Amino acid sequence: MKHPEYQYLNLLKELVEKGVEQTDRNTGVKTYSKFGGQFRFDLSKGFPLLTTKRVWWKGVLHELYWFLSGQSNIKYLVDNDIHIWNDYPYKMYREKVVKGLVPDINKEVFIEKIKKNNGYAKKFGELPRIYGELWRRWPAKKNRTIDQVKWVIKEMTDDPDAHNLIVTSWNPEYLYDMADPREASRFPICHNLYQLNVKNGRVSLHLYQRSADIYFLRSFDNAEPSILLGFGVYF
């Protein structure tokens, strides 16, 4: 049997040789894509951390903790020198600059202010409707929030044969031109849905992604769900 990492390497090869060219309408960036590619890993035989490229393990762990702890402010990440989410709040800040509501500063100064000033971070570092909020504090009617992760763990414990173990981040109310422009999310939701299933005492997890950067983010997308599943999460 080939090492399971060949699934990743073969997909890279296929994208280079047969990928369909597409252009992002907002950025003009061209990429090569394949729809519906899948990877499967048996965690009983090892952890699927890529070995053919360097994986930023610190970033994997802190980002996953940020999601699972229900946080939606980048200050935790900035405090731990994780800067992969910096662009989004700064983009929102720039929109205020254009309107003359805040002073014009570069991104480095903006992030330094987030790091050193809790009040500033609270005001400008918040990313509404990102994974932490949608997983752990999904907005519902009557000012209620729903903890999807906690519910899935409880449901899986109470009913090992359950077929409804789903955590979703796809809320059309806030996405693209389906949203009220004043409430629309400023960042893409990629990890749309997690589904878990228990068979013969083994737990399986299926992640469905809207889109994935196969070169850069695939290492995160392999590792984070595997940590969730392989090591267990307790709340």
Would you list the DSSP string of 125-166?
Answer: SB-TTSHHHHHH-EE-STT-EE-HHHHHHHHHHH-TT-S-EE
Q: Is residue 34 one of the residues assigned to a domain?
A: no
CATH code (residue 190):
3.30.572.10
CA distances for 153 relative to 212, 218, 232, angstroms: 26, 26, 10
Q: What is the reported pLDDT for 145?
A: 97
Q: CA 97, CA 91: separation in Å to the nearest integer?
A: 10
Residues serving a catalytic function are 190
Asked if the model's pLDDT at residue 235 lies above 60, the reply is: no
Which residues pair with residue 23 across a beta bridge?
30
Q: What is the reported pLDDT for 192?
A: 92
Q: Is residue 38 one of the residues assigned to a domain?
A: no
Q: Is residue 229 one of the residues assigned to a domain?
A: yes
Split at pLDDT 50, 70, 90, the class of 17 is: very high
Residue 178 exposure: Cα atoms within 13 Å on the Cβ side: 8
In a 10 Å sphere around its CB, with 0-12 CB exposed, 13-18 middle and 19+ buried, how is residue 125 labelled? Answer: buried
Q: What is the reported pLDDT for 234?
A: 39
Q: Is residue 157 one of the residues assigned to a domain?
A: yes
Sheet order of strands, 202-209 included: 165-168, 191-199, 202-209
Q: CA 235, CA 70: separation in Å to the nearest integer?
A: 12
Asked if the model's pLDDT at residue 70 lies above 60, the reply is: yes
Q: Is residue 202 one of the residues assigned to a domain?
A: yes
What are the phi and psi torsion angles at 30 (to 5°)?
-95, 140
Q: Is residue 101 one of the residues assigned to a domain?
A: no
Mean pLDDT, rounded, for 203-223: 84
Asked if the model's pLDDT at residue 233 lies above 70, the reply is: no
- pLDDT digits over 134-149, tens only? 999 999 999 999 999 9
The H or E element that residue 22 is part of is strand 20-23
CB atoms within 10 A of CB 148: 18
| Average pLDDT, rounded, for the chain | 91
- pLDDT digits over 83-137, tens only? 999 999 999 999 999 999 999 999 999 999 999 999 999 999 999 899 999 999 9
Q: Is residue 223 one of the residues assigned to a domain?
A: yes
Number of domains, the chain: 1
Helices and strands (DSSP H and E) totals, the chain: 9, 7
- Distance between the two ends of the chain, CA-based, in angstroms? 38
Mean pLDDT, rounded, for 201-213: 90
| Listed residue (127, 164, 166) closest to 149, CA to CA | 166
Q: Is residue 87 one of the residues assigned to a domain?
A: no
Full domain range(s) for residue 212: 144-235
Q: Which residue has the tokens 């202010």?
A: 113
Mean pLDDT, rounded, for 171-200: 89
When comparing pLDDT for 83 and 221, which is higher? 83
